[in-house]
Structure 1
Amino acid sequence: MEEVVTNKLRTTLMRLSMDNQLEEEIRMYHNEKNKHVIAQVSSLAAGIEFLEKRVDAVVGDMNAGKGKSFHQEMLDEMKTELVEKKAEHAALSEGLRKFDVPEEYIASVKYDIQTLIGLLDAEVQNPQMLHQIVSKFVSKVVVQRETKNVYVKVQFVNADDVLYEKNIVAEM
């Protein structure tokens, strides 16, 4: 079982350490995790643009003398809605800050991955050092006897932020 988990972990980490794969996986994880907020920000931006065009059209009608008595009330309501939507958009956009992974973090993780792979490949393994490095990447291991599967949760964390998470399944 240990060999199966070791091989699965080695394969996953080696793939992540190639080229800029680690950065791409972290970005994809972040986008997937925040896709509902991204969609909401996009929808609000479209709503704001539409409302601004409607306000301009009503103001244009009023300036051209085509406005009716209810146009001012409608304009006031649209302006109030516009202010509310812009505030909501700003709040959501602020929470969805552009996601950049520090280069130092990527370099550090790649170094740790190479060190771990070296330790796994060593004929005489240093269990204490192996445990230290594995604990940086593996947050949970579950063995399910009924299905004969081992579930390994790989996580990259930087300053309490989960940058990447993947569940690996290995068959015993």
Structure 2
Amino acid sequence: MDLGRHTYALTTTWTGNRGSGTSGYRDYDRLATIEVAGKPALPVSADPAFRGDRGRWNPEDLLLAALSECHLLSYLHACTSAGVVVVAYRDEATGVMRESGGAGHFTEVLLRPVVTVADASMIEAAQVAHRQAGEWCFIANSVNFPVRHEATTLVAGQ
């Protein structure tokens, strides 16, 4: 048993067959459902720019969400280890994807967390914890583009 190895499983089911399958590029919907045992189903689609449903999550949203949440979780751990009490956290993340020759790739992601700490004495350690979180984040360590951080630290009650 490899204690450092973690395996994840899900099922993705395409639900966009309008009756003629993929008989033509405009003849099917980009709708699908992602399911993980014991969790609510996630309705997904393509980005609207690629004929998708804007009311559903798309792969680009999910990648950005994974990076933002991974940083959050790594950051909270780093703060706990450093004695920083975080009382609020909100991230306004953005990602840039470029298309070229029918393919595309992300060129960068910018995380903009606004963190509120319990006391002004924690500000410096709270800011340093973003670097540690960036090093610890499994998802950021798995992508081939930069994940940058522009963090703001506030103090509760001020």
- TM class, shorter-length: under 0.3
Of Structure 1 and Structure 2, the greater strand share is in 2
TM-score of the pair, normalised by structure 2 = 0.27
Greater RCO, CA 8 A, separation 6+: 1
Higher helix proportion, which one? 1
Q: Which has the larger radius of gyration?
A: 1
